[in-house]
Structure 1
Amino acid sequence: MEQSSRILIVGGTGYIGRRIVKASIALGHPTFILFRKEVVSDVEKVEMLLSFKKNGAKLVEASFDDQGSLVDAVKQVDVVISAIAGNHMRHYILQQLKLVEAIKEAGNIKRFVPSEFGMDPALMDHAMAPGNIVFIDKLKVREAIEAAAIPHTYISANIFAGYLVGGLAQLGRVMPPSDKVLLYGDGNVKAVWVDEDDVGTYTIKAIDDPHTLNKTMYIRPPLNILSQKEVIEKWEKLSGKSLNKTYISVEDFLAGMEDQPYGEKIGISHFYQMFYKGDLYNFEIGPNGVEASQLYPEVKYTTVDSYLERYL
């Protein structure tokens, strides 16, 4: 029997990284988690790392300020998955350029998954500023990966359910509103809503699959391709409550955006791309793309209906 690939996860204590760690361990991969020495002062992250260690993961200390330590970490594994947080006020995504150099120097990696997990940056050259910086940074990492001829898989995971399903896609809210809800445009633009644990599972499934080699894998569970209005209706049916609905035009939605803090501007511009432009689902998957739920029908993904039940 072929041995499971050894996986190094960078950003393993982060929001999506912890799900990838969980899936890697559950699916039987020798799992290595890179951690920086600064983490020793963060009790919650230390406790998380220790829980991973208890479940069989190996902790590997390295630093983006010490290229040799990155190379040493990479040499211990077959696959590297980056789940670095996308704080674009600090350009954390671009830290992966050092990781690309380490992978290139080590010369042993058979697959690299960079930190993307949202909209496909290759399709977002029309994106509104300042949210476009997210896609610009991710494309810089892609360019470095491909220039170094590193085998790779890009993951487009669309909407993280925890951020937008529970709050019915209300800006700044992650729990269902009790009385009223705002709909973007007519509320009928299709989006794709994905449970974060499923993102972890599909990601680990992809790392040894030749069908995903040097391709973009889109996670589009068919029952979760829904408009904002359809998600709201599902909540109303489950909760037995009817919400007062206000429809907001694109002009009104964007009004006053310039007066918002930089981070808020990024969030507003991404909402515009998702719920007005329809950039999560307004394209056909091309020859350099594959769809996760078709590749791995054995994965019993979480539907929006079942996800919403936790809020009852």
Structure 2
Amino acid sequence: MADKSNLLIFGATGSIGKYIIDAIVNARDSFGRIAIFTSPNTLTSKPDEINALRHKGVDILVGNIANRDEVLKAYDGVDTIISALGRGAIAAQIPLIQLANETPNIKRFLPSEYGTDIEYSPASQHEKPHQQKLKVRAALKEVRSDLEYAYVVTGPYADFPFYLGRSRSPRGGTFDVVAKKAVLLGDGQGRISLTACADVGKFVAHTLTHWDAARNRALKVNSFTTTPAEILAVFETHTKSTWSVEYTPLDELRALEKEAWDNGAPEATVYTLRRIWTEGGTLYDRRDNEDIGVTQTTTLSELVEDSIRKQVEELAPKH
């Protein structure tokens, strides 16, 4: 892009949004104006985060994401929208896309795609956790021809408290540092691609600075591909101990998934996603890291070391 883009980010203080805004701010020489749209509640509940962003030159726009006039006001003077809205707010992107379509100065929209590939197989259209993101993709297919998009598909987040953490539903997979216990999915040998949260931010920033390669594509990017057994071996190396190991075969995982959905249990989505990953839903013929100029990513060893530290700190007495 010859001219520097002016960016507006939704969800910038959320669990993945904070990594995205950090990466963008770190690459701020590549961009023009950087702004976030946040709610009055976030302004008061996360003052330190908001003030830190303001100190770094980020414009803080406050409003209601459901208020058409407030969103349109925020769209003034920007050309690129980046959404980092969480799973519970995915559908809220559809009116944001429709308003972007009505705003000629908006040229690019990156929806909140970070995570599982929602078109990984013909079965994807029926997966319950995919439904809202599929509607978002459908909305982007209806926009004017000069409103471009990119889907940054990262696969599951690796960091603690995500894949490399201790799970509240251990049968769905867990790496418990304190108990020195792991539950591996499948036979433990199935390959899975994971992404560090910091790398999600890096991928988004590089998508924006390598737009010719990213335009109107689903970018399949990740930090590394490994197996549950390899992950366990790294945990054992770092903790200098042998862990106890159990397995959740795919048939059992599918049964847990069905039971959770039938009972309206909150872990239903987790079981579905982990079943998809165990079936090979994060594996591709090629990954697109280098297409957007990303040649270095966080390593499994670095993330395991971080998970160990955070799990130990979590249980340490608070003074």
Which TM-score bucket, shorter chain as reference?
A: 0.7 to 0.9
Matching residue of 2:13: 13
Matching residue of 1:101: 98
Distance in 2, matches of 1:33 and 1:245, equals 44
Distance in 2, matches of 1:107 and 1:151, equals 12
- Please give the secondary structure, in 1, of the residue aligned with 2:102: helix
Mark the CA change 1:172 to 1:247 in structure 2 (over 3 Å): closer, same or farther. Answer: closer
Cα contact 1:220–1:293 (8 A) shared by 2: no
Cα contact 2:238–2:305 (8 A) shared by 1: yes
Percent identity of paired positions between Structure 1 and Structure 2: 21
TM-score normalised according to structure 1 size: 0.86
Map 1:124-135 to 2 at 5 A. 124-127=121-124, 132-135=127-130
Deviation at residue 76 of structure 1 after TM alignment? 2.2
Match of 2:119 among 115, 118, 122: 122
Deviation at residue 179 of structure 1 after TM alignment? 2.7
Matching residue of 1:280: 282
Mark the CA change 1:101 to 1:24 in structure 2 (over 3 Å): closer, same or farther. Answer: same
Map 1:48-63 to 2 at 5 A. 48-63=49-64
Map 1:166-181 to 2 at 5 A. 166-167=165-166, 170=170, 171=172, 176-181=177-182
Deviation at residue 37 of structure 1 after TM alignment? 2.4
Deviations 1:57-110 (A, max 9, x none): 0011232332121122122212110000102xxxx2111011011101111122
Cα contact 1:21–1:200 (8 A) shared by 2: yes
Matching residue of 1:244: 244
RMSD between aligned residues: 2.4
Cα contact 1:165–1:304 (8 A) shared by 2: no
Structure 1: which 5+ residue stretches go unaligned?
A: none
Map 1:204-223 to 2 at 5 A. 204-208=205-209, 209-221=211-223
Deviation at residue 261 of structure 1 after TM alignment? 4.0
Distance in 2, matches of 1:174 and 1:100, equals 39
Match of 1:147 among 137, 142, 151: 142
Distance in 1, matches of 2:109 and 2:129, equals 19
Distance in 2, matches of 1:161 and 1:99, equals 29
- Please give the secondary structure, in 1, of the residue aligned with 2:109: strand
Are 1:305 and 2:301 matched, yes or no? yes
Cα contact 1:14–1:84 (8 A) shared by 2: yes
Distance in 1, matches of 2:303 and 2:8, equals 29
Distance in 1, matches of 2:197 and 2:297, equals 10
Matching residue of 1:202: 203
Mark the CA change 1:293 to 1:308 in structure 2 (over 3 Å): closer, same or farther. Answer: farther
Mark the CA change 1:174 to 1:55 in structure 2 (over 3 Å): closer, same or farther. Answer: farther
TM-score normalised according to structure 2 size: 0.85
Matching residue of 1:78: 79
> How many residues end up aligned between the 2 structures?
295
Matching residue of 2:153: 156
Cα contact 1:124–1:135 (8 A) shared by 2: no
Matching residue of 1:254: 254
Are 1:34 and 2:33 matched, yes or no? no
Deviations 1:171-202 (A, max 9, x none): 48575353321111211111112111111011
Deviations 1:101-137 (A, max 9, x none): 11011111221100110112122541497xx233121
Distance in 1, matches of 2:251 and 2:173, equals 20
Opposite residue 161 of structure 1, the aligned amino acid is: A
Matching residue of 2:269: 266
Deviation at residue 294 of structure 1 after TM alignment? 4.8
